[in-house]
Amino acid sequence: MLPAGYFTVKEHEFKKCRQSGFCVRQRAYSDLVDLKKEPTPYKILRETVSVQKDNGVLTCEVLNQLSNIKYNFKLEALENQTVRIRLEEKDPKKKQYASVGNFSLVEEPKSTPFKTYVKAKSETEFSILEFGKNAKMLLQENPLLLTLKVNEVSVFTFNEKGYLHYEHHREKATVKNSEEPALKNEDSPGMEEVLAEELSEKEKLEKELKEKLEFGMWEESFEGNTDSKKYGIPEHASSFNLKNTRGNDVAYSEPYRLYNFDVFEYILDSPMGLYGSIPFMMGHKKGNTVGMFWMNSAEMWVDIEREVELKTRAKQTVTHWSAESGILDLFVMLGPTPREVSSQYTSLTGKPALPQLFAIAYHQCRWNYNDEADVKEVNAKFDEYEIPYDVLWLDIEHTDGKKYFTWDEVKFPTPQEMQNNLAKTGRKMVTIIDPHLKKDDNYYVSKEAKALDLFVKNKDGGDFEGWCWPGNSQWLDYTDPKARKFWAEQFKFESYKGSTSSLYTWNDMNEPSVFSGPETTMPKDNIHYEGWEHRDVHNVYGMLQQRATFEGHLLRSSNLDRPFVLSRAFFLGTQRYGAIWTGDNFAKWDHMEASVPMLLTIGVSGVTFSGADVGGFFGNPDPLLLLRWYQLAAFQPFFRAHAHIDTKRREPWIFGEPYTTLIRNAIRSRYRILPYLYTLNFEANLHGWPVMRPMMYEFPEDYFVYDMGDQYMLGDTILVKAVVNETSPSVKVYLPQGKWYDYTEFNAIDRPKDGLINYDTPTDKIPIFLRGGSILTRRERMRRSSSLMKRDPYTFYIALDDLELASGKIYTDDGHTFNHLKGSYIYSEFEFKINGNSGKLSSKNLLVKEFGASKVTKNYFKNQDVDFGGRLERIVIFGFKKPNFKLVEVKVENKILSFKKEKNEVFVIKDPAVFIGEEWEISFKFE
């Protein structure tokens, strides 16, 4: 959030590539390579090659034949079909930051042996190293070139175009080491004007590019080729399939930027960096998916270029990455499916945390709820209008003068009583706690941090000071383990006065946002723990605050309660610590539309728990926009309404009928699918799979969906398409091969050959479909909050496929502790199938190896063994092939069950009297 009145981004205040020295040089180098068509100067020194076959490691030295600088090169085969490529200067004049793995990796990756190693006979031939499952590395020594293959198909190439340009550190007398040279105005004469007129155009261009190579100080980059469709590198308000920034058909003249900063009402359809940066990319084509990430927390720029290979005419995508500092430490995950890439990637950077149940329910927020009376009234209105919700949020105005961990004693005199009143109906509260600390000797947090010397330093060694919400502020150095420990301790109940166990945390402004700083953030020459500059650790800063907050939640509950922490900034590994959101969006139809590809990109990049502010943060939505946003966000991972302090109130009942009823219905639709959503979050925690999935993720062989970023799958069962036009009476939706059903009516959709249908969109619905072959588990009874539903019965919705089969799973536990790690959970799989005139619905319990065998005993619900689970009260089946199909008998354990046939050939079986988590069979007879 930004001060009142800041409603448009001042784009000129944020750097372009032409204003970033290392980006200018890197683009110039790649242009020069393309112009001169000369081979890369990098070669492996043959005599230095060492292969540890049993450990899956190759090491050697690489020489830049132009500068005569040597580099250490390391190639590792890792477990889970992954390769690590590491390149760093052998004898650097300035030490290079290489410690971000301490924050982004869950542990040091384990290598796997090379199965075979065939050494090249000459430096221009390829050495072959086989590993894993049908995977191999082909390494050429001169020029340096690495190709990775799976099943004999090339899926990734390093330095094929010769763009590798790893500069050694150089001192310039005319430029301070910590600063980049001043830039001419965009409209001032360009560099070409210094060239002599008699030079040829090619000579002019070559001279210009060489001049640009001297612009700035130092950096590194790599080039990779992973095929035609590319996704990832969030955060940008752009398409899901990344657009060209070089070559032909350029969509953006700028590369994609990865640099966390505070951007208000961000520009849409732009490669401009936003609040988070994840240097991860996924490439996909039929039969192969590959992922890669560069473990580096400095500023980056990424160019995308699609081209046609001259010899084979095959389409390929070249990506050119540049980083300001650090080393080249690259991981490549070889899939070969999107799910396997997600699993491989998160086995390195960490599986997403399993959220508490309340966290995936509905959150009500604005800047600001004014006082305790306001909180009480809003809470009561939800009950009055019978709208469920789980969390009420307080923004910065709840504090004493923007001093975090404090309360305004006039507006919030009894914060514990306020929280306890919400907790009576299972509701929680969240307060904002930003990283900037007001410089005030009477503010205990700031005073203690200064005494312990925990603040980020300026370039001269003093505590850095900048301007933010409280005025003059200072920032903890979260790269320092002592600072993280100090921060975590502030969440103890005895430290955070007025807090209770039902209070959770929102970390905003943690890019970090510094109003008085360059690009609204810290100067790059600030100094962190162990002497590293801010430029080296910038993108990891916000994640480390979220981590320290997460650890504070664990500390206050003695590791019993799962934390909930929302962060605006994010990086590699953020998924281990909680949720993020897309930042300060606007109450406009195109911002709602943009939220879909943004969330899809964030999800495939590992952060599976994310959302966008419902209704838009800035501005005042009209009632139809607000309604459509609720209807969409109810089927996205994180569901929170939020608004700027200057906006009009927009709680669900504000606009009156029919909008109150329609918004209530949208929120209730969220609560119905909580069992399904909780299962998806469990699968994310177990496998790293996104909750909100791009169409290509579920249909990787369907080329038509590869570019698709305007519709998505919620898990593998529900297809969702946004309504983003206020006047359109219908929306075009693509249904992949298979059987599909209307989500509310359960009628089968008549899918045309091309899969495209026009779906009517009256105000009470958006296009949502059930996938044939699925069993969706819902809870239909509405309560005031999710925790009050924990013993309510379940309903199965069985959507048959073309073979009249269906299956589904459910995971449940107590919803808030870590007892599931000790076996207190239920994980069950359900299958329905027909054989002739009989059918069977069965339940089978599944083992979660990571949690151990379930300790939930038989008849648990009847015996009150656990406080979760429940009986199955209704079964709804639809999609039988034969018209006028008759169901004549349903029974379980010789007990005959009642049933009825409804419209659209839907059969409803009442009260089967079986329990989720127990193994059973229900039999069916048909005529």
Whether 56 and 113 have beta carbons less than 8 Å apart is answered as: yes
| Residue whose token pair is 């869950």 | 106
Whether 98 and 329 have beta carbons less than 8 Å apart is answered as: yes
Which DSSP symbol is given to 147? E
How far apart are alpha carbons 339 and 187 in whole angstroms?
Answer: 47
How far apart are alpha carbons 630 and 614 in whole angstroms?
Answer: 6
Which of 351, 273, 291 has the alpha carbon at shortest distance from 539?
A: 273
How far apart are alpha carbons 845 and 920 in whole angstroms?
Answer: 10
Which of 449, 435, 426, 581 has the alpha carbon at shortest distance from 512?
A: 435
Provide the 3-class DSSP secondary structure of residue 384. Answer: helix
How far apart are alpha carbons 511 and 519 in whole angstroms?
Answer: 11
Q: What's the burial of 178, exposed, middle or buried (CB within 10 Å: 0-12/13-18/19+)?
A: middle
Which residue in 219, 305, 511, 710 is the catalytic one? 511
Q: Which phi and psi angles does 635 have, rounded to 5°?
A: -115, 35
Number of helices followed by number of strands (H, E) in the chain: 15, 47
Residue type at 25?
A: R
Cβ atoms < 10 Å from Cβ of 805: 15
How far apart are alpha carbons 304 and 256 in whole angstroms?
Answer: 8
| Residue whose token pair is 């760093």 | 88
How far apart are alpha carbons 533 and 538 in whole angstroms?
Answer: 9
Question: What is the separation, in whole angstroms, between the first and last Cα of the chain?
Answer: 63
Which residue in 508, 536, 613, 716 is the catalytic one? 508
- For residue 7, the Cα-to-chain-centroid distance in whole angstroms is 26
Which residue in 584, 698, 873, 918 is the catalytic one? 584
Helix (H) or strand (E) holding 731: strand 730-734
Q: Is the peptide bond before 637 cis (omega within 30 degrees of 0)?
A: no
Taking the CA atoms of the chain, what radius of gyration do you get in angstroms? 29
How far apart are alpha carbons 660 and 674 in whole angstroms?
Answer: 22
- For residue 614, the Cα-to-chain-centroid distance in whole angstroms is 18
| Residue whose token pair is 């190759």 | 58
Helix (H) or strand (E) holding 668: helix 659-672
The string over 711-748, giving b where at least 16 C-beta atoms fall within 10 Å of a residue's C-beta and e elsewhere, is: bbbbbbbbbbbbbbeeeeeebebbbbeebbbbbeebeb
How far apart are alpha carbons 611 and 603 in whole angstroms?
Answer: 10
| 551 is annotated as an active-site residue | no
Bridge partner list, 50: 59
How far apart are alpha carbons 736 and 706 in whole angstroms?
Answer: 12
Which DSSP symbol is given to 306? E
Which DSSP symbol is given to 357? G
Structure tokens at 309: 């290979």
Q: Which phi and psi angles does 714 have, rounded to 5°?
A: -95, 105
Q: What are the strands, taking DSSP E only, across 636-745? A: 639-641, 692-694, 711-714, 718-721, 730-734, 740-742
How far apart are alpha carbons 664 and 674 in whole angstroms?
Answer: 16
| 511 is annotated as an active-site residue | yes
Longest dimension (CA), the chain: 98
Kindly report the three-state secondary structure assignment for every residue of 181-237.
CCCCCCCCCCHHHHCCCCCCHHHHHHHHHHHHCCCCCCCEEEEEECCCEEEECCCCC
- For residue 490, the Cα-to-chain-centroid distance in whole angstroms is 28
| 187 is annotated as an active-site residue | no
Which DSSP symbol is given to 639? E
Catalytic residues: 508, 511, 584
